[in-house]
Amino acid sequence: MPKIKKLPSGNYNARVYDKILGKTTSITAPTREEVKRLAARYELEVKKHAAGDYTIAEAIDSYIKSKSNVLSPATLCTYEGNQRNAYNAINAMSAAAITSAQLQKYVNDFAALHSPKTTRDVYGLLSASIRQLYPDKAFSVTLPQKKPTERHIPTDNDIREMIACANHNLKIAILLAATGTLRRGEVCALTYGDIKDDTVHVHRNMVKKPGGGFVIKDTPKTSSSDRYIPLPAEVIAQLGSGDPEDRICTASPNTITNEFSKLRDKLHLSCRFHDLRHYAASIMHAIGVPDAYIMKRGGWSSDAVLKSVYRNALDDKEKEFVNMANEYISKAIL
């Protein structure tokens, strides 16, 4: 039984430590006997956990709490959303006793209503949570096959139409993404103090925070995302001016996504806002810019995304190169 002490308020308190969950629970009540009773009941739960009798819900909660100081706010938001919505069918099951067959049934049922990527992400959190408590457990579960990412890269004309029809904040976001490769969170975190002459310093990111809302992180998505991007003087002029601490785009990432979706539908386009980054990469690749510089400008840590983007070449650029090749052949041999 833990030590019980009287507080200045007149209540009584005991602290019970669960070494499996790695947390101390403070129990307070008006009387010593009530605290003693509640502490004894909690210790029974601790003993149950020490014996390995965790539910799936408890295992996932333990995993998320153990990673709360090392994961990004956006990742924590995703995990907490999955925790609330994805595991209702198995939350009460024993994490120690659950079998591959039970997990396979869960995956089959979940995959019937969700995309392969969502299914794989949800199972990833689930399996990691179980393995953290029971490292020796191994499962044989077949996950749905990944679908190739279908990219709809806008053309030069698409970009011009977007800029002409967008409101002020969305216009700035489109310009920065399509000419400077900025992600939407980087756009929203950019301030006038980040511009020097014709160069933009990208070193912050606006991300979702647990509990709702957004927060600006002083570090970007990855170490390679901290970068200096020279932009055309015409683009810099479109950004306007303000105090160094003023944000250039005052919208949130969600607002940018929602406004862009409305504009895209109005113009009968299929691209996402993120495809504007791919447009910028494709343009640089088409005019012969080395991949190493494209990666540096876009903050990509590998060329895997670039190669995927190049396989979805811009239609208008492809036609241009085909015409160039055909014209050369005609003059050379015909």
Q: Which CATH architecture fits 56-133?
A: Orthogonal Bundle (1.10)
* Segment 183-238, tens digit of pLDDT: 999 999 999 999 998 999 999 999 887 777 888 888 666 667 889 999 999 999 99
Task: Locate the domains of the chain by residue range.
Answer: 4-50, 56-133, 156-320
* Average pLDDT along the chain: 85
Per-residue confidence (pLDDT) for residue 47, from 0 to 100: 63
Q: Which fold has domain 156-320?
A: hpI Integrase; Chain A (1.10.443)
Per-residue confidence (pLDDT) for residue 82, from 0 to 100: 92
CB 24 within 8 A of CB 17: yes
* Segment 36-87, tens digit of pLDDT: 888 887 776 666 666 567 899 999 998 898 887 777 777 888 899 999 999 9
Per-residue confidence (pLDDT) for residue 136, from 0 to 100: 82
